[in-house]
Structure 1
Amino acid sequence: MTQFTGSHILSVNQLNIDSINTIFNVANDMTPYALREKRTKVLDGAILGNLFFEPSTRTRVSFGCAFNLLGGNVRETVGMGSSSLSKGESLYDTARVLSTYSDVIAMRHPDAFSVKEFAQGSRVPVINGGDGANEHPTQALLDLFTIQKELGHHGQDISGMHIAMVGDLKHGRTVHSLSRLLCMYKDVKFTLISPTDLAMPDYVISDIENAGHQITITDQLEGNLHQADILYLTRIQEERFPSQDEADKYRGKFRLNHSIYTKHCKSNTVIMHPLPRDSRAQANELDNDLNSHPSLAIFRQADNGLLIRMALFALTLGVENQLQQYECPVNWYSRKADK
């Protein structure tokens, strides 16, 4: 991808190393604005259409907050029932109309490839906030950004690292997109840990193998973590199962707590999770007893999501070089930079 301005961001397949580095560089530029050290009104008057037709907390609020922090306004539609899609309107018609009211649109939808279909009717850039079990490109970018930062603290690089992905790898769109991004680097080792029925899709495995990376597939957690630099956990995606009973069969199969981490992981293995983690007793794939562990990066991941989404808005609207021109002071109390 060589041109961001006016472009849709629908799939990680649009990206290459150069475009990823561009996004990361702009994301780093966003840090003082995210920490409220400065303000910028570079998108003053611009409107984000934040369309979330599937439940979301972090992603939806993160997109909206990212746009607000650049000075823009946000208009939200939440849930299928609150839109004319519930009346049979096509995605094309919805896009054609709502793009009239917006300068950029972020969209999540429960059906695979739905955001791509929507984008065909849009007259403004569309950013994929997750389309069913298919992809979640902004999550993959913030995950990769986090991996780069976390490994950098130990003098490591993405190329040559070892990542263990754990949980529902069949339905987890975050691991699908992240795996594709990691395929662009060199000598990455993958350990894929899941119940057999929830294994990573064959097409993702083929992408990993065709990129020349080493891959191990197993249904055993303990004993397969000791070499991992990154431990990426996912919850059981119960909304993708035909019934609650079917999802419950797998809940709690793989759990990470302080004891397991200490016994089976390196002392500096980075713990990641796209959130939300399922903290119910019968699930608890990532225990709260790791909350204060310095290697737990899940909240740093969420923080990085704000930076990445700010960067994508700036790039797609062509204002990434105008941030300082529209700066103004922060007039209220904030200690975000201290936390």
Structure 2
Amino acid sequence: MDFSGNHILSIDQFDRADIEKLFSVADNLEAFASKQKITRVLEGAILGNMFFEPSTRTRISFGASFNLLGGNVREITEVGSSSLAKGESLADTAQVLSGYSDIIVMRHPENGSVQKFAEASRVPVINAGDGSNEHPSQALLDLYTIQKELSQNNKSLDSLRIALVGDLKYGRAVHSLCKILSLYSNVKLNLISPEELKLPKDILNQLNNSGANVVQTENLEEGISEVDIIYVTRVQEERFNNKQDANKYRGLLSLNQSIYTANCEPNTVIMHPLPRDSRSDANELDSDLYANPNLAIFRQADNGVVIRMAMFALVLGVEEKIEDTSKPVNWKVGLNS
């Protein structure tokens, strides 16, 4: 894949060499993401951050990533605050806003919408989630997290054993993660969900065609045994026809420390793309897991910054220029320990 000047719309664009290149750039940006150093390599550049669905981590981390590279961010955070509410088409919006931006990140509730937008854009577009379809940057940061967590136990992405738990039908993060895992060898996936929320057949077929060992079950305890990673996702209630339909599945697959201790290997890592639903009738990851050192959800969220920095650096062609404007941070970073 040629990153420079191109859109990132789907995990299908990536092969293993592309992922390795992205991760290498991310490794080199760790000091900047953690504010040990600063760079102004994108000084003067403008990100158009267009989010037509609610978002916390993805929207803010894309913006923070661009700021950390020295760029400026302009945002739209809902359809009602844009001319789409007046009937303007995505194509017209793309033509106009790409004249104001050097790169655009877009989230939209309709499957395929970001692709349509990108076709009319005059600058690169990154897909930050289109309906229940895909979420490529989430899959990349998830895989980066998995690799880092596995390395603590001298394991690699090849021969990964992972349990995917929850709403696998509508979870776009899961869809993109499954696609990216199909690039690796000897992967075993336990797909744990209610029958009605099973992984879509096209993605299941992609996994099977890759040679992955796929097991589908509704039994949480059975599915999380003998795995390296447990990846939990919430019920995507916004994709259901009504809240009552979503409520039927809420809380069916909840993980707590006692279930973890009884069924998991000692070093099994717990991940979640967030937000997790902490309401009492859902509680998919119990608060008693906070003390578990294998709970990686906040390390995972932190990795979103460095991965998205790497995406910007590669798409805008500055990955070799990061150090040119590097200098020390001149403020106090973090809390006193």
- TM-score class normalised by the smaller sequence: over 0.9
Instruction: List structure 1 runs of 4+ shifted beyond 2 angstroms.
Output: none
Give the deviation of 1:124 after TM superposition: 0.6
Of 71-80 and 214-223, more deviation after overlay is shown by: 214-223
Q: What is aligned with 2:265?
A: 266
Partner of 1:175: 174
1:113-170 C-alpha deviation (Å, 9 max, x unpaired): 1000000011111000000000000000000000000001100011111110000000
Cα deviation, residue 314, structure 1: 0.5
**Letter paired with 1:121:** A
Cα deviation for residue 198 of structure 1 reads: 0.4
Aligned residue runs from structure 1 range 175-214, under 5 A: 175-214=174-213
Match for 1:204: what amino acid?
I
Which residue number in structure 2 is paired with residue 148 of structure 1?
A: 147
Q: Is structure 2 residue 324 aligned with structure 1 residue 325?
A: yes
Give the share of equivalent positions with the same residue, in percent. 58
Question: Which residue of the partner structure matches residue 124 of structure 1?
Answer: 123
| Partner Cα distance (1:229, 1:197) in 2 | 26
Determine if the alignment matches structure 1 residue 229 to structure 2 residue 251.
Answer: no
Q: Does 1:334 align with 2:333?
A: yes
- Aligned residue number for residue 310 of structure 1: 309
Give the corresponding residue for 2:49.
50
How many Å separate the matches in 1 of 2:243 and 2:314?
A: 41
**Which residue of structure 1 lines up, in the alignment, with residue 84 of structure 2?**
85
For the residues of structure 2 that align with 1:202 and 1:248, how far apart are their CA atoms?
24
Q: Secondary structure at the match of 1:30?
A: helix
Report the AA paired with residue 244 of structure 2: D
Encode CA deviations 1:3-31: one digit per residue, 9 max, x unaligned. Answer: 11100000000000000001000111111
Q: Which residue of 1 aligns with 2:17?
A: 18
- Distance in 1, Cα, partners of 2:160 & 2:313: 30
Q: How much has 1:104 moved relative to structure 2?
A: 0.3
Task: Give SS of 2:223's match.
Answer: coil
Which secondary structure state, in structure 1, belongs to the residue aligned with residue 163 of structure 2?
strand
Give the Cα separation in 2 of the matches to 1:98 and 1:251.
39
Helix, strand or coil: the match of 1:120?
Answer: helix
Which amino acid in 1 is paired with 2:57?
Answer: R
Please name the residue that 2:162 is paired with.
163
Equivalent pair of 2:191/2:223 in contact (CA under 8 Å): no
* Structural mapping, 1:25-44, within 5 Å: 25-44=24-43
Alpha-carbon distance between aligned partners in 1 of 2:190 and 2:165, rounded to the nearest angstrom: 8
- Structure 2 residue runs without a partner (length 5+): none
User: 1: CA distance between counterparts of 2:114 and 2:330?
Assistant: 39
Gaps of 5+ in 1: none
Asked whether the 8 Å contact 2:182–2:212 carries over to 1, the reply is yes
- Deviation track 1:295-318 (CA, whole Å, cap 9, x = no partner) reads 011001101100000000000000
- Aligned match of 2:137: 138
Alignment: residue pair count: 337
Cα distance in structure 2, aligned partners of 1:49 and 1:61? 12
Question: C-alpha distance in 2, partners of 1:243/1:327?
Answer: 51
Amino acid in structure 2 at the alignment position of 1:301: Q
Shift of 1:171: 0.3
CA RMSD of aligned residues (A): 1.0
Q: Does 1:238 align with 2:241?
A: no
The SS at the match of 2:64 is helix
Give, in whole Å, the separation in 2 of the partners of 1:215 and 1:329.
48
Residue identity matched to 1:223 = E
Whole-Å Cα distance in 1 between the matches of residues 267 and 189 of structure 2?
18
- Superimposed CA distance per residue, residues 192-222 of structure 1 (whole angstroms, 9 cap, x where no aligned partner): 0000000000001100000011110011111
- The one-letter code sitting in structure 2 at the alignment partner of 1:14 is Q
Aligned-partner SS, 2:180:
helix
Following TM superposition, by how much is the alpha carbon of 1:225 offset from its aligned partner in structure 2, in angstroms? 1.4
Letter in 1 for 2:306: L
Instruction: Return the alpha-carbon distance in structure 1 between the equivalents of residues 63 and 325 of structure 2.
Output: 20
Amino acid across the alignment from 1:147: I
TM-score by length of 2: 0.99
Shift of 1:329: 2.2
- Secondary structure at the aligned position of 1:223 is classed as helix
Structure 1 residue 291 displacement after superposition: 1.1
In structure 2, how many angstroms separate the alpha carbons of the residues matched to 1:266 and 1:154?
12
Task: Give TM-score, length-normalised by structure 1.
Answer: 0.98
Measure the CA separation in 2 of the matches of 1:161 and 1:148.
Answer: 10
Q: Which residue of 1 aligns with 2:63?
A: 64
